[in-house]
Every structure is written in structure tokens, then in C-alpha cells.
Amino acid sequence: MEILQLVLYGTILGSILALGAVGVSLTFGILRFANFSHGDLMTIGAYVVFVVFTVMKLPLWLAIIVSLAVTAALTAIIDKLIYRNFRNSDPVILLISSFGMALILRSLIQLIWGPSTQVYEKGIQLAIKFGGGLRIKPDQIIILVGTVLLIIALHLFLRKTKMGKAMRAVADNAELARLTGINTEKVILCTWLMGGALAAAAGIFLGLDTRVFPEMGWNILLPVFAAAILGGIGNPYGAIAGGLVIGISQELSTQFIDPSYKPAVAFAIMVVILIVRPTGIFAGRSS
């Protein structure tokens, strides 16, 4: 039974990783670079909820909406100020720039909120017990339901709306998209907004599940990247599966190894994928 419980915890962690990895994959698909500031955008999202929900005592759902909007807007502003200038550069320059952006964001977080660890709500939540002794906390239900809703919304957006289809078109072939008359700048803006909102959601859920502290996003960046690579980087659907695989493996691994090595499990899976099938197990775009 313990195993089932770990699978459940792994699914919860996997949901968080999946949301993060989908954001990384979307930006990679359009802009062709691995965004190293994605983890710290997650942290920003988590802190905005801390401000609106914990400090201002407004309802959680409202705090989540505000956080998604603020983080998305911030991401778009960063693009306007910095990344946009590198459109015609080698994407590698964007990667380096995003690495710098990660530190800028983290130092701002530390300046504003200090280095200490916060929780959304003090006190211990009672776990709900159900069939076969499985336990789940109300917050974890929020995480699971929230993730499913966001992924359905994303799916509908990518499949049903003109902008979503244009995003997939640009990811397929950016040059052809331009020749077709697709406004790629608008597509890029939209990608950043979605990437930012998804990062915020991942950060909030991570904060709900554990705690809020300045390095939380950076610390989870490696498993997020691993999930994106596992799913075939650039393929948002693969990223969802990648997140779940990594999350469940990480939790199950605690049966055998020290829990502090959870990120190493993600890394090990990633290394195996890079050796065996670098395009990802879910047929992502070619490297």
C-alpha cells in the first residue's frame, strides 16, 4: 500500500513538474532555447499568492488568478526589455541571458521577501483518508484538479483557437509561418504569456504542497528540464507525460535512496534518455 501512496505523491509532484515542463517546452518550441529563468518565474508566482492570499487574506482562487496574470505580464515585460533584442542572435545567447535573468529575479525576490521560508497557511492540514488507507490533503486535491483544468484549457487553446494553431505553426516551421503572414511577434508574446502563467501555476502548486522560499524554483528546474527532455523538448504533450514519469520515479526512489537525492533521480532518467533517445520518448521534434 505504501507504494500506492508514493505513486499518489508522485502524481502530485509530477503535476507540478508537468506544468513547469509544458511552459519550458512551449518557449523552446517557439524561441528555440532552454529558458533557465523558468524556475525563478515559478518562485515569483508562488510569492504573489503568498502576498495576496496569506498577507492580504483574499481568497485562494483570486490569489491564483492574480498570480497567473502578474507572472505572465512580468514574463512579457522581460521579453520586451531583454529577450526581444536577441531575436536575430544565436539562441544560445538567449540561454545565457536567461541564466542571468534567473539571478536577477532571485535577487529581487530576496530583496523583497527576504531569505526566509514561508508557508501559505500555518497549521497542519488533516489528510483525507480513502479506500485502502490512501491519504491525500485538501491542498493536494487542489493541485491535481488545478493541473487537470489548466492542461485541458491549454489543449483547447492549442487545438481550437487561431492563436493556438499559429503557435503550433511557428513551432513547426517559423520561417514558413512568417511567409504565410503569421504575425510571429504576436505569437511570441502569446507564448511568453502562457509560459509565464504556467510557471506561476507550477510555483503556486509547489508552494501549496511544500513551502515558499527564494530557491524553490531554481531547485526544481533540473527535474522540470528532465521532464521536458523526456517528453521531447518542444512538445508540450510529451512534457505532461514526462512530468508524471519523473515525479512518480522521484517519489518511488525514496524507498531505496536518501530523499535528498530526488533531483539525481530526475537527472539519471534524463541521462538515460539522452543516451538512448535524445528526441524524447514521446516523439518530440528532432534536435
Partner 1 sequence: MEGLINFGILFLTMAGIYGILSLGLNVQWGFTGMLNVGIAAFFAVGAYSSAIVTSVGDLPHWGGIGAPMIIGFAAAMIVSGIMAFFVGLITLNLRSDYLAIASIGIAEIIRLVLKNEEWMTGGVNGFTGISGKFNNIFDGGHALLYMIMVMVVLGIAYFLCERAYKSPWGRVQRAIRENEIAARAMGKNSLSFRLQSFVLGSAIMGLGGAVYTHFTGFISPEAFDPLLATFLIWVMLIAGGSGNNKGAILGAFIIWGVWSGTEFITSSILPADMATQGAYLRVLFIGILLQAILLTRPQGLLPENAPQPDKD
Partner 2 sequence: MSDVLLTIENVTGGYGEADILFDLNMKVHDGEVVVIVGPNGAGKSTAMKSVFGLLKIRGGTITYDGHDITHDTSDAIVRRGICYVPQTNNVFPTLTVHENLEMGAFVRKDDISDSLDRIYEFFPPLKEKRKLPAGTLSGGQRQMVAMGKALMLDPKLLLLDEPTAGLSPKYMDQIFSIVKQINELGIGILMVEQNAKQALGLADRGYVLASGKNRYEDTGANLLANREVAEMFLGG
Quote the least distance from Cβ 94 to partner 1, whole Å: 9
Bridge partners of 118, per DSSP, are 212
Indicate the residue among 166 and 230 with the shorter CB distance to partner 2: 166
Q: Where are the beta strands (DSSP E) in the chain?
A: 128-130, 134-136
12 binds, among partner 1, partner 2, none (CB under 5 to 8 A by kind): none
Nearer to partner 2, 8 or 189 (CB): 189
What is the rounded CA–CA span in Å between residue 63 and residue 68? 9
Cα distance between residue 277 and residue 287, in whole Å: 11
Q: Which does 82 bind (CB under 5 to 8 A by kind): partner 1, partner 2, none?
A: partner 1
**Cell numbers given for 169:** 505553426
Name the minimum Å distance from CB 149 to partner 1.
29
Nearer CB in complex with partner 1: 146/234: 234
Q: Residue 118 touches which of partner 1, partner 2, none (CB < 5 to 8 A by kind)? A: none
90 versus 121: smaller Cβ distance to partner 2 = 90
Residue type (1 letter), 61: W
Binding residues vs partner 1 (CB under 8 A): 28, 33-34, 36, 82, 85-86, 89, 91-93, 95-97, 99-101, 103-104, 106-108, 110-111, 114-115, 218, 221-222, 225-226, 229, 233, 258, 260-261, 263-264, 266-267, 270-271, 274-275, 278, 287
Closer Cβ to partner 1, 62 or 112, answer by number: 112
- Here the cell at position 18 is 508537468
Cell 485541458 belongs to 152
Residues that bind partner 2 (CB under 8 A): 162, 165-166, 168-169, 171-173, 175-183
User: 186 is written with which cell numbers?
Assistant: 504576436
Least distance from partner 2 to the Cβ atom of residue 274, Å = 23
Place of cell 483544468: 149
Residue 111 touches which of partner 2, partner 1, none (Cβ within 5-8 Å per kind): partner 1
Q: Which is nearer to partner 2, 13 or 171 (CB)?
A: 171
Handedness of CA 18, 61, 203, 77 (dihedral sign): positive
Nearer to partner 2, 57 or 162 (CB): 162
Cell of 81: 526589455
* Contact indicator for 222, 266 with CB cutoff of 8 Å: yes
CA dihedral for 229, 193, 202, 162, sign (positive or negative): negative
CB of 15 to partner 1, least distance (A): 21
What cell was used for 277? 533517445
Tell me the C-alpha to C-alpha distance, in Å, between residue 55 and each of 48, 114, 143, 243, 245. 10, 15, 21, 31, 35
CB of 225 vs partner 1, minimal distance in Å: 5
